[in-house]
A and B are shown apart, each in its own frame.
Chain A
Amino acid sequence: MSTSPGRADSGRPPTSAAAAPVLRVARRRLSLSGALIAVASIAVPLAIWWGVAALVTHMRGVPFPTPLDTYHRLMALLHGKLLVDFTIYRHLGDSLRRWAIGFSLAVGVGIVSGLLFGWSRLLERLSRPIVTVLQLIPGLAWIPVAILLFGISERTTIFMISATALAPIIINTTAGVKGVSELLVRAAKMMGADGRVLFLRVLLPGSLPHLLSGLRVGFANGWRVLVAGEMVVGTGTGLGYSMLQARWNLDYDSAFVCIALICLFGLLVERGLLLPLERRTVERWGLARAG
């Protein structure tokens, strides 16, 4: 039961004015400890990296790049030093573009199919084996298929990103639509909703909590296969490609810059795009799960 029978129907919002100052102090304390945790979550891995670098350099006698080495090389690359014939901007831009196209395709196809499969039991049962298999195929296993389809080109990488991002988006959207209460569908029909309204204004927003989880998993899958795909397909640009090439040239500092950028931009998309999207929708609707 979603109603709280104990609450009087006095029309008062849940938080009273008297509690506001206390809440403000509590919130400030929370944000302070939150900031500390955020700093620690970056500082600790950096410290570990540094320790490993020092240890490996000392014990094996090979120059393992430290965070500082990587930073210096990053600065050099940002100032226009070429990496495998191109600037770092070109590599980064190409990688992001491939990812954006591949992921957008997966999002479009995934959401539409997910909505359909969630809506129609028949379609869901017909598609279930395909979707399950799709989910089980590792991203790199697409390489022969993709190369046969598109040759050694950018489209091969894009196809691989789409293929690996697709399954979790479909699966989660389907689950989301199936999770929309039958009562909400009835209420919508009672208020004269036709098929289009039902899809766009009930099933789509109703499945959004699941859909967003699907996007996050799909994003992570696609991001991983982007790097792997660029390494294997090798179209001359991209972070994955230049990471591998830098290694052949024993330019480990640059390889580490590429790794750092992959981590950084992955984190940015997750924190800067997907998380805020969740905050602005699911949490504001009171549907948020803990954490």
Chain B
Amino acid sequence: MIELHDVSKIFYNEETGHLVQALQGVDLTVGENEFVCLLGPSGCGKSTLLNLVAGFERPTAGRLLFEGRPVRAAGPDRGVVFQDPTLFPWLTVAQNVDFGLRNLGLGAAERRRITDRFVSLVGLADFARSRPHQLSGGMKQRVQLARVLALNPRALLMDEPFGALDAQTRDRLQDQLLDIWESHRTTVLFVTHNVEEAVYLADRVAVLAPAPDGIIADVPISIPRPRDRYSEEIREATMALIGVLADLPCCVLPSRRAGETPSREPATTKPG
């Protein structure tokens, strides 16, 4: 489904004039309908990897395939949920969900039906006519989810989507995401630096270390679903993964992040 073969990405940092190696020799495969969490310390290139799969950036070297074809540009077959709620502030919730449907050239009635369905699916039917600035952080993330699900993507690419939310909201949205994933069955590549989150959500956790290391561990999480986030199994799997992460450099200089998404705050102020 998603295949990365020996993928590298080098950025040129315009401010410092240095080249920054964000990814080096990364191999990763995500299977059909698999839920894979990409785990790693801040600044290790997780977001870069996701941006490559999304088609926002091109790999410097290596092969990157989506459904057997090289990724050339972004498109609605890969629905991206960003960490920052990138909703269009001038559109209502329903119009935000409708945005992508218009590009598909569907009729108005069809679009209306799909929009209603997905706005309701994420529990925002009462807010269909609200604008993003009237919503809480969690609600905005639900709109982001609705607008990509409405496009019936082959894969969901999620970049720390719950990273900026409070713990209670995060838990609720994780459960909601799992419900939707179970009923809609798509492939999910989910970037996080939160170990518990990765273990609770994923079929498989891939641990990404800063370049030049690449994927240093690929751990299947075989705990049956539905999972109990407070269970002993989850706790054990979490502890095991924390052991893996403990060997990694945790504090990476901000300059390493130069190539990552522009309007992101520096690694040191990240929540979690």
Report which A residues bind B (CB closer than 8 A).
Answer: 1-9, 11, 13-14, 181-184, 186-194, 197, 201-202, 205-206, 208, 281, 284-287
Contacts and interface: CB of A to CB of B under 8 A. Distances in A.
Contact of B88 (A6, A11, A189, A205): A205
Contact of A190 (B54, B166, B173): B54
9 contacts: A2-B85, A6-B166, A9-B169, A182-B261, A183-B84, A183-B86, A192-B103, A197-B102, A285-B131
B130 interface: yes
B132 interface: yes
B86 A189 contact: no
Q: Chain A's interface: helix, strand, loop or mixed, by majority?
A: loop
Nearest to A186: B56
A183 B260 CA distance: 11
A3 B136 contact: yes
A14 B135 CA distance: 8
A194 B136 CA distance: 30
Given A190-B54, A286-B132, A181 B99 contact: no
Contact of A191 (B151, B165, B166): B151
A205 B90 contact: yes
A182 B74 CA distance: 14
Interface stretch (B9-17, B108-116, B137-145): B137-145
B97 to A, nearest CB: 10
Contacts of A11: 123-124, 126-127, 136, 139
A19 B200 CA distance: 40
Nearest to B172: A9
Contacts of A197: 102-103
B85 A3 contact: yes
Nearest to A6: B166
A183 B271 CA distance: 20
B79 A13 contact: no
B210 interface: no
Interface in B121-161: 123-124, 126-127, 130-134, 136-140, 147-148, 151
B27 to A, nearest CB: 25
B204 interface: no
B73 interface: yes
Contacts of A3: 85, 136-137, 140, 164-165
B100 interface: yes
B181 interface: no
A191 B147 contact: yes
A201 B99 CA distance: 9
A7 to B, nearest CB: 5
B95 to A, nearest CB: 10
A286 B89 contact: yes
Contacts of B104: 192
Q: Chain B's interface: helix, strand, loop or mixed, by majority?
A: loop
A186 B172 CA distance: 27
Given A1-B84, A1-B164, A9-B169, 13 more contacts: A5-B137, A5-B164, A5-B166, A6-B166, A9-B166, A182-B262, A189-B55, A190-B55, A190-B76, A192-B104, A202-B88, A285-B89, A285-B133
Nearest to A192: B103
Contacts of B226: none
Contacts of A1: 84, 164, 265
Contacts of B76: 190-192
A182 B75 contact: no
Interface in B245-271: 261-263, 265, 271
B90 A208 contact: yes
B127 A186 contact: no
Contact of B89 (A183, A190, A287): A287
B240 to A, nearest CB: 30
A105 to B, nearest CB: 26
A188 B147 CA distance: 11
A4 B136 CA distance: 7
B161 to A, nearest CB: 12
B103 A194 contact: yes
A189 B136 contact: no
- Top 3 closest pairs, chain A to chain B, by CB: A286-B133, A3-B137, A191-B100
Contacts of A9: 136-139, 165-166, 168-169, 172-173
A18 to B, nearest CB: 18
Contacts of A182: 261-263
Query: Considering residues A7, A191, A194, which has the most beta carbons from chain B within 10 angstroms of its beta carbon?
Result: A191
Nearest to B167: A5
Contacts of A184: 86, 88
A201 B133 CA distance: 18
A1 to B, nearest CB: 6
A64 B63 CA distance: 83
B164 A181 contact: no
Given A3-B136, A9-B139, A281 B90 contact: yes
A182 B264 CA distance: 11
A284 B263 CA distance: 24
B100 A192 contact: yes
B46 interface: no
A252 B75 CA distance: 68
B52 interface: no
